[in-house]
Amino acid sequence: AQELLVVEDLKTYFYTLRGIVKAVDGVSFTLRRGEVLGIAGESGSGKSTLAWSILGLVPPPGRIVGGRIMIDGMDVTSMSEAELRRKVRWKKVSMVFQGAMNVLTPVYTVGRQIEEVLQIHRGVGRHEARQRVYELLESVGLHRSIADRYPHELSGGQKQRVVIAMALALEPDIVIADEPTTALDVVVQAQILNLLKKLAWEKNLSIILITHDLSVIAELAETVMIMYGGKIAEYGPSDAVFTKPQHPYTQALLKAIPKLRGPIDRLAYIPGSPPDLRNPPPGCRFHPRCPKAFDRCSREEPPLFRVGDGHLSACWLNEGGGE
């Protein structure tokens, strides 16, 4: 199938003592093989929860309560933990977590840690695993001698490359990268982004890139999803979304970030704060902060309207199409 990942009306809620947090609330999209999708939104917009949902790793008290996730034709939402481990994680989808450097164990060499993934999941012998470790390190632009080093002997950028090599160990179709460059300096950030771009191209790898930083998405992603309050506000080809944003939230974000630089969370100047997802505003969730809101917005929730080729916006102003 062309569509490697199909997410249909996904709902992932957290059942907290203080109420139900609707972290992801009716999200649908598809991802093609080799496609790089960037997902942006403020903290609490649901982007990380969406990633955990795809991996079957929603932490308690959260769970998927509605919708479906299909990966390469398999319905992963109906799988047991054991099945997810056997068929999906690492093999189909792997993740480069936020602050991924801390994933590495300090007491083992980098090579041994990657070998372990290969030995556990592939049952390969030590020698074969070592050869594969060298290939993996080289594929992320590291010298094979790095295999004998301990994590503390490596720079931040080298560690992030090791984590990416690990994520690639079992040749997944999709890598989810959650803030993969946040802790790195600007030069190293650019190198890691170029590496991801190269991998997507060379290995026909699909990448879901989650970030606060729209400049990262502009550089890397062909498709962008802007999330607000657990829902998709706008979705489409990066070119279209960045040059002709249709949703007032996207417009505000882009206006607030000249040249797309800087993390979204620093933008206190979109007045107001993100919605409380235990008790979201009725109608359009953005209406209390929206400069263009009108009476209908607080009563009825806008669906995603088609505003261009593959371009969608959840705003009543787009009911008749885009501008």
Contacts with Mg ion by CB under 5 A lie at: 48
Span of 44-52, 84-92, 250-258, 309-317 interacting with ligand SF4 by CB under 6 A: 309-317
Which residues does 29 contact at the CB level (< 8 Å), separation at least 6?
7, 37, 225, 232, 235
Alpha-carbon span 123 to 114, nearest angstrom:
13
Q: Which does 39 bind (CB under 5 to 8 A by kind): Mg ion, ligand SF4, none?
A: none
Q: How many residues bind ligand SF4 (CB under 6 A)?
A: 13
Which residues does 22 contact at the CB level (< 8 Å), separation at least 6?
11, 13, 230, 277, 278, 280
Span of 64-72, 164-172, 250-258, 315-323 interacting with ligand SF4 by CB under 6 A: 315-323
Q: Which does 122 bind (CB under 5 to 8 A by kind): Mg ion, ligand SF4, none?
A: none
Q: Is 228 a residue that touches ligand SF4 (CB under 6 A)?
A: no
Alpha-carbon span 300 to 130, nearest angstrom:
58
Of 295 and 309, nearer to ligand SF4 (C-beta) is 295
Write the single-letter amino acid at 141: G
Residue with tokens 């600007």, as numbered in its chain: 186
Of 112 and 287, nearer to ligand SF4 (C-beta) is 287
Distances (CA, A) of 10 to 68, 100, 160, 310, 317: 6, 26, 30, 20, 25
Shortest separation between residue 78's beta carbon and ligand SF4, angstroms: 34
Residues 250 to 289: which contact ligand SF4 by CB under 6 A?
284, 286-287
Q: Which does 286 bind (CB under 5 to 8 A by kind): ligand SF4, Mg ion, none?
A: ligand SF4
Residues 32 to 71: which contact ligand SF4 by CB under 6 A?
none
